[in-house]
Structure 1
Amino acid sequence: MARLPTDVETEIDRFCNDIKRNTYTRSADLALATIFMFKKLIGESKWSNASELITLIRSQAHRLNQGQPVDSITFNITRRILKLIRDVSVRIIHGKNEGSDISLTLQAVLNDRAATSTFNDDDNENIEENLQPKTQQIRTNLPDSSAINNVEGEVSVQRLKPELMDDLNWYSSDIELSVKNLSQQALAHIHANELILTLGYSYTVEQFFKYAASKNRKFHVFILEHAPFFTGHKMAVNLSALNIPVTVVTDSAVFAIMARVNKILIGTRSLLANGGLTAKSGTYNLALAAKHYNVPLLVCAPTYKFSPTYLPSFDPVMCNTFPSPENILSYESIYQSSLDIVVPMHDYVPPELVTLIIGSGMGNAPSYVYRIVSELYSAEDNDLERLQKESLK
């Protein structure tokens, strides 16, 4: 069984304490810190093959994600790294260029089918005979599913570690550039003289607005203040510094101003596999008002915020955080010791209230999120949610 060195154990404890103290103010910083933690674990721990490494990471998943919602970024990064380990293992065993060979063979079949599409029905037998060898070649190139499931035990640490570290470095770079790549789509969604509504502060949304303004796109931003935390004031100050016209609006006035708004642009904490999202408290009311007035709701979300958690497993407690209610009601004003005050930080917004999800690559409908999630993570790792629940019992 793989073991953890003492300094790795210490680093994991420090990382967990930083999360509890909310040291990471930006989601990208948390994602990068999680990857750095796993790189240290992979680089300094004792393991002999990919199978042992996967077991080691899964055994530490409940510690790294302790106290975090099951759709949190640390969970997503954990699952993504497990997927990378499996992908690298398959790539080593079956060859690096296998995927491109399959694509070229498939393209040849499609080209032949297009070239023969003008033939008569009498030529169908000849067409099938021409396509049969190439179709058989695709089947031959595809790795056997049973072989894929067993490659982890065949890949040694000497072969796996260098390539895996390269992939993790690439993954870190992708996260660092995710907001920049996302914001470069701003001109496709923000048009001249539009009135755009947002909620509170989001670094991703701020960069989205800044990029559009840097290209001399004129627009006006309504900002809901997001009480009781009032993060909307920070957004207003930052946008005003770039001469972007802003108006701060109270949360209760969202329905009154919705008829004047052209579109809504918000950030999110996570995107669930069904296309729904968990976002700042107040987002659900905002989405309902937008639905009533048929105002499009656009969500900015880098791919590391995509979570494989589905709605049937959504738990308002497991998928939420509850800060101190001091901002709502001071301790001095509480006269009953049995009074419970709950301050949820996030709302769940169902996919039918979301118009478009703007990711790092392109915009997608909420119904397409499940497809992206299936490419990012392995189905074998969906039980990390169960491990998290068991660790809390």
Structure 2
Amino acid sequence: MAAVKVSISELERYLKSLKGKPLDASIDSLISLLKRRQVQGSEACAVATAHILLQVVAKTKFLDADHMLERVQQVGCRLVSAQPRELAIGNIVRRVLGLIRDEAAEDRNEGGDGDDDDDDDDVALTPSAAVPDPSKHNNQFPASTYAKQDAGADYISSGPRPVRPGALTSVSSFSVPKTLLSLLEAAPSALTPSVGSLRDSGTSTPMRGPQNTKINALRSEVIDGIEEIKDEISQADDQIASSAEVQIHPKDYVLVHQPSPTVQKFILRAATRRRFTVLIATEPPRDVTDEAPYASFRRKLAGVGIDSINIMNGGLTAHMSRISKVILGARSVLANGAVVTDAGAGLIARAAKERGNPVIVLSGVYKLSPESAATEESLIEWGSSMSQVSFADGSLVNGVEVRSAVTELVPPELVDTYITNLGAHSRNHLSSIIADHYKPEDVDFQLWK
């Protein structure tokens, strides 16, 4: 829990620094924090990623939607490389890439009908089209209504298209003596007004106004979408907790393993309406002077009349016969349903499966990843072994390699129910949630060249 508090304080300090710091410096600062594990945990990493991508979208000058996609993808690759085991980082990057694609597609669909008219206008007003065929001149501009987008992106409807005045009309209507002098006198008077009017109007040259308006509108929509993602992350725990009364029944014996804030809020919400017993599986304290693990959580349970029992991981099997259900907090959930959790949860899930007890996993949708790990080793995080071996035992330290796992991968067949901020789901339903939140082309964005 101490590591989580440090991560939260570092995150808050980083978010406050975003206002007065240049964009590139903010990106480098977050990468440094991720590499040093000063910002860790799924929620903290997801929040930091959403904030920095919002800064990227808001502060970068983009040429078009493809440029925005490329820039977000570049920053996302750097963040994922800084801490590849935090899958929530990649999930948020994919969500933002999907936002850009959706908003760009909507803009194209909305502007598709007007683009053809604009193209026709440009062709009709180019210098090459300024000299019409006299035989077709009367049918060149039929009376019709049209819509034209101005520099402010507003659509203006007008009446019949006006016929542009000029000396060319008189040339095509009257017979002019074809002498050298008459041709020299007629050419400037015929061409100069048309070219001059085009230069003054600016219609024949590319206009940046509509394009800037489109990219600014896209930027605004993407920023709104990122704000919604931030709200989703902040509200996920409360929405997950709303399912607690359905999952926990009176007189249940509920086993939780190193309860995360999500699990604690879930249990406390059920405690407002139910009377049950909570068994908390924890690692033994490193020092006899340390406070009992999750003491504050136990005090909150006692305050609402819920009995709690602390169990060391080594004595779990002796209590499994009393357990009604197991509730685990997820660091991330893979596409196949496998769950990355704190080390030790796998043993609990296997024991529960043997006795037929349901295993429930709590996870926000932002932790649900479209990735499927090639190897378990790529997801397991290893920490310090100081709690297992003391440096005072020099011969053991020098002669034995001791590894202490921080996380563990729980196979999908050991999980019965996944509860997200969208409700309860089976393993087979996870693919539908992934399809709703991620674009297929963004699944492997970190591998783009």
Q: TM-score, normalised by structure 2?
A: 0.67
Q: 1:87 & 1:334 partners in 2: Cα distance?
A: 60
Q: Please state if 1:207 is matched with 2:250.
A: no
Q: 1:334 & 1:300 partners in 2: Cα distance?
A: 42
Query: Match of 1:341, as an amino acid?
Result: V
Q: CA contact under 8 A between 1:186 and 1:209: conserved in structure 2?
A: yes
Q: Please state if 1:351 is matched with 2:412.
A: yes
Q: CA contact under 8 A between 1:206 and 1:235: conserved in structure 2?
A: yes
Cross-structure match for 1:309: 371
Q: CA contact under 8 A between 2:240 and 2:421: conserved in structure 1?
A: yes
Cross-structure match for 2:240: 182
Q: Please state if 1:162 is matched with 2:177.
A: no
Tell me how far 1:24 sits from its aligned partner. Answer: 4.0
Query: Match of 2:376, as an amino acid?
Result: P
Question: Cα deviation per residue 1:69-112 (whole Å; 9 max; x = unaligned)?
Answer: 3562111111111111111112222249xxxxxxxxxxxxxxxx
Greater gyration radius: 2
Tell me how far 1:358 sits from its aligned partner. Answer: 0.5
Query: Structure 1 58/280 Cα, relative in aligned 2: closer, same or farther at 3 Å?
Result: same
Q: What is the DSSP-based 3-state SS (H/G/I as helix, E as strand, rest coil) of the residue aligned with 1:332?
A: coil
Cross-structure match for 2:380: 320
Cross-structure match for 2:53: 38
Consecutive unaligned residues of structure 2, counting only runs of 5 or more, are 1-20, 112-210, 287-291
Q: CA contact under 8 A between 1:224 and 1:250: conserved in structure 2?
A: yes
Alignment of 1:1-393 (within 5 A): 7-24=22-39, 27-70=42-85, 72-95=87-110, 156-215=214-273, 217-227=274-284, 232=294, 235-310=297-372, 313-335=373-395, 337=398, 339-384=400-445, 386=447
Tell me how far 1:345 sits from its aligned partner. Answer: 1.2
Q: CA contact under 8 A between 1:276 and 1:348: conserved in structure 2?
A: yes
Higher mean C-alpha deviation, range 156-165 or range 179-188: 156-165
Tell me how far 1:161 sits from its aligned partner. Answer: 0.3
Q: 2:314 & 2:212 partners in 1: Cα distance?
A: 60
Tell me how far 1:303 sits from its aligned partner. Answer: 0.4
Consecutive unaligned residues of structure 1, counting only runs of 5 or more, are 1-5, 97-152
Q: What is the identity percentage for the equivalent residue pairs of Structure 1 and Structure 2?
A: 25
Query: Structure 1 348/192 Cα, relative in aligned 2: closer, same or farther at 3 Å?
Result: same
Q: CA contact under 8 A between 2:254 and 2:326: conserved in structure 1?
A: yes
Q: 1:11 & 1:363 partners in 2: Cα distance?
A: 38
Q: What is the DSSP-based 3-state SS (H/G/I as helix, E as strand, rest coil) of the residue aligned with 2:223?
A: helix
Q: CA contact under 8 A between 1:50 and 1:157: conserved in structure 2?
A: yes
Question: Cα deviation per residue 1:239-279 (whole Å; 9 max; x = unaligned)?
Answer: 33444210001112222211111111110100000011111
Structure possessing the higher relative contact order (Cα contacts under 8 Å, 6 or more residues apart)? 1
Higher mean C-alpha deviation, range 184-193 or range 323-332: 323-332
- Say what the alpha-carbon RMSD is for the aligned residues: 2.5
Query: Match of 2:436, as an amino acid?
Result: E
